Amino acid sequence: MRKKQKILLCIFLPVCFVAVFFMGYFYSVIRLMSWNVFTSRPVKEWFKQQNAIYFDEDQVDELNIEAFNKVKNVLENKYYKEVDFNEAFSVAIKGLSAGLKDPYTVYYTPEEMKSYMESVSGNYVGIGVSVHMDENNLLTVADVFADSPAKEAGILKNDKIVKVDDEDVTSIGDADLIVKKIKGEPNTKVRITVYRPDESKYIEFEMIRRVINISWISSEVLDNDIGYIYIKQFDDDIYKDFENHLNSLLAAGIKGLIIDLRDNPGGSYYQVVQIADRIVPKGLIVYTEDRYKNRSEQYSDERELELPLAVLVNGYSASASEILAACIQDYGKGVIVGTKTYGKGLVQEIDTGFTNGGGLKYTKAVYYTPSGRSIHGEGVSPDVEVELSEEFNTTPIEDIPRDKDNQLKTAIAEVMARINE
């Protein structure tokens, strides 16, 4: 009798174990897929390995999870042709970042990430423009470089780039991805369609890409021994170049200085911090703060610029340009002249640690000026507001005649007034 009981027990326990296992399996799958979706699958597919995505209950409504699975099931079984779910899921991942409605946060597919890394690490081959996203998320020309295909073709500042090689790019929403399409191999053709607001018309340009040799900084001595430094963008070597230009001007005996940041879309955070360090007294330059209130601070040393100073800005001065202008303004080290800046006060980072080869550019923190101002969405308001003469609204800064640049003339007058105090 005892022997029979042992045999029954040996049979019963494994059966119970298997039953509990399958009950747990079915429950977990049904929780993820919903009963209707699960039972609509062929029986032979019930035991396939499932890949799951997990959200906390308070993050995503269960009905949305069920709707997602329902859409997937309908497409899998009723769509008129076989679905490439890997491709569809890549778009779904993009939708996850796009749903934040943050134009600076975007997921790159493996192909896009590869192209992006190549574009930022190799030579700059393209048409010769700097760009930014406007308030309507349209890629807008901020500057047209001298001796470039864009300059020769007739592209103007403020043109909105709407097509690249007949592909509509107005819904992409990420400047880096559109720029990647514009760049390419030397001596290859690219067609760019722009919308020109001043003329209310679309214009198509065909250009040959070539290597663009850009000088991001230039300087000269203006009348009355006033130094002038124009910074187009804060690239990865700009501080060294700035120091060289400044030292040359100081050796020439300048009595005041104008730094021109008009149309400068930004660039390296750490390079602009070093430039600010050369100008302002010892103290806080800028700090960033993430969602958890973790704070990262950048400080300047005792060395500072002992000259009357004016800084020129406009609506295309963004990001790193605004860090420099706001820092100088907070310390009272110079007068800010021009129009209100763009208002981009967010810090981005690129996460490349994706096993599929993709990547995520995401907004990491907000930056604040020494006085605690966040300029995001607000911009830096000039101390002396001066609109550029309307006739030069589409003219690159370096092409505006000095004697007709009313913003520059105002900056010169401000510096002269401080020299004569």
Token pair for residue 183?
């760049």
Q: Give the closest residue to 405 by CA, choosing from 147, 224, 222.
A: 222
The pLDDT score that the predictor gives to residue 255 is 97
Instruction: Identify the structural domains of the chain with CATH numbers, from first to last.
Output: 2-83 (no CATH), 110-211 (2.30.42.10), 217-419 (3.90.226.10)
pLDDT digit string (tens) for the chain, length 421 residues: 555 555 555 555 555 555 555 555 544 544 544 445 445 555 555 555 666 677 777 888 888 888 888 898 899 889 999 999 888 888 888 889 888 988 889 998 888 887 777 555 445 789 999 888 888 889 999 889 888 999 999 999 999 999 999 999 998 888 888 998 998 889 999 999 999 998 999 999 999 999 887 788 999 999 999 999 999 999 888 999 999 999 999 999 999 999 999 999 998 899 999 999 999 999 999 999 999 999 999 999 999 999 999 999 999 999 999 999 999 999 999 999 999 999 999 988 889 889 989 999 999 999 999 999 999 999 999 999 999 999 998 898 988 999 999 999 999 999 999 999 8
- pLDDT given at position 122: 44
pTM (2 decimals)? 0.76
Backbone angles phi, psi at 40, to 5 degrees: -80, -10
Element (H, E) at 367: strand 359-368
Give which of 318, 353, 332 is closest to 134, Cα–Cα.
318
Tokens 């042992």, located at residue: 6
Phi and psi, residue 169, nearest 5°: -110, 10
Tokens 């919308």 — which residue? 195
pLDDT (0 to 100) of residue 252:
97
- Distance, CA of 415 to CA of 334 (rounded, Å): 9
How far is 333 from 336, CA to CA, in rounded Å?
A: 10
